[in-house]
Copies of this chain bind each other. A is one copy, B any other.
Amino acid sequence: MKPTIYDVAKKAGVSIATVSKVINNTGRISEKTKNKVWKVIGSLNYQQNVIATALTGKHTYTIGLLIPDLSNLFFAELARSIEDRGNELGYNLVICSTDYNPDKEAKYIELLKRKNVDGFILASGFENTLEVEKLIAEKYPVAIVARDVPAFNVNAVCIDDFQGGYDAASYLIELGHQKIAIIARDVWSNRERIRGFRKALEDHGGIREYAFSQFTLESNVPWGKKIALDYLNSPDPPTAFFACNDLLAIGAIEAIREKKLRVPEDISVVGFDNTVIATIIDPQLTTIAQPIQNMGREVMDLIVAEIKGEKQYKSRIVLNTKRIVRDSTTRLKKERSISKQKSNA
């Protein structure tokens, strides 16, 4: 069996209380005793039992992470960055995929509570904030990341979606594009991105918005392709796409190819997220990067600070997006703008 504090005490000829104090460096113990105890700990290869410690009211050094889907690359990268920071700080992660299902989220939260996790990081994307409110009411440390931030007071790390959308539009406008189609799923963050997008149109001399058709039901390649095809088949097709995630952008690229057009020569495409996939496809994707590494780090720092009681107030951290220009965008071809101007004249 694994040695316990009793084994150490007996072998060192002291009481368990003394051993406990040595391990935790509490109380006043003579250097001599300390040395003796540490030596025995080493020789027995004693390891503190976290379970027993937790039962006395201490922490479990385990945090519950609720995300929609671990096999989604964005969330996998996010989970990894949270895990890394957790590891540095001495915390493990119990990761739970909720599939955007509120029942599943509620069930996982119950279970994790029973396991005495020290806190919850919520990256789950659906808009039901009831569970969050309950958690906070019960004084659990909670931090939200990459998710719609509820109105009430809660730790959160998010990106400036408005700014990201604004940036995407500004860039495409600079390249000469006027007819820019939006591809997005109907979630809060995308609505913000679209709002930013529209503001950019306005700020650049009130460019008329390209007719918006419909939201996608999922953020994946087939939906991106489907919506893009709808646009391309319209009488007045766009010269650029702004997709609210990289997979949708890839779908758009496939649609463009299917219409025998080229990216970026005929049509430019901007994605969002900058998951590794953006560099894997051909052409490499121009995209608005979410600073995933920083998000993971910040959210872990936030929750650990709260767990340790170093922080009585809640914070909301807003990170900036960053435009990453690669090969899926280019300046609108002159002849097209000219012919357009002519037709306008």
Do most interface residues of chain A lie in helix, strand or loop, or is the interface mixed?
Answer: helix
Cα separation A80 to B2 with both chains bound (whole Å):
32
Q: Which of B51, B112, B279 contacts A60 (CB 8 A)?
A: B51
Flag if B49 contacts A114 (CB, 8 Å): yes
**Binary flags per residue of A134-163, CB closer than 8 Å to B gives 1, else 0:** 000000000000000000000000000000
A84, CB-defined interface residue at 8 Å = yes
**Binary flags per residue of A170-197, CB closer than 8 Å to B gives 1, else 0:** 0000000000000000000000000000
**Binary flags per residue of A230-260, CB closer than 8 Å to B gives 1, else 0:** 0000000000000000010010011001000
Q: Which of B61, B110, B281 contacts A280 (CB 8 A)?
A: B281
Residues of B within 8 A of A62 (CB): 94, 115
Query: How many residues on chain A are close to B (CB under 8 Å)?
Result: 49
Question: How many subunits of this chain does the assembly comprise?
Answer: 2
Q: Identify the interface centre among A62, A70, A110, A247: most chain B CB within 10 Å of its CB.
A: A70
Q: Contacts A281-B281, A282-B253, A282-B254 hold; do A94 and B97 have CB atoms under 8 A apart? A: no
- The residues of A with any CB-CB pair to B shorter than 8 Å are 2, 47-52, 54-55, 60-62, 69-71, 73, 76-77, 79-81, 83-84, 87, 92-97, 110-116, 221, 247, 250, 253-254, 257, 276-277, 279-282
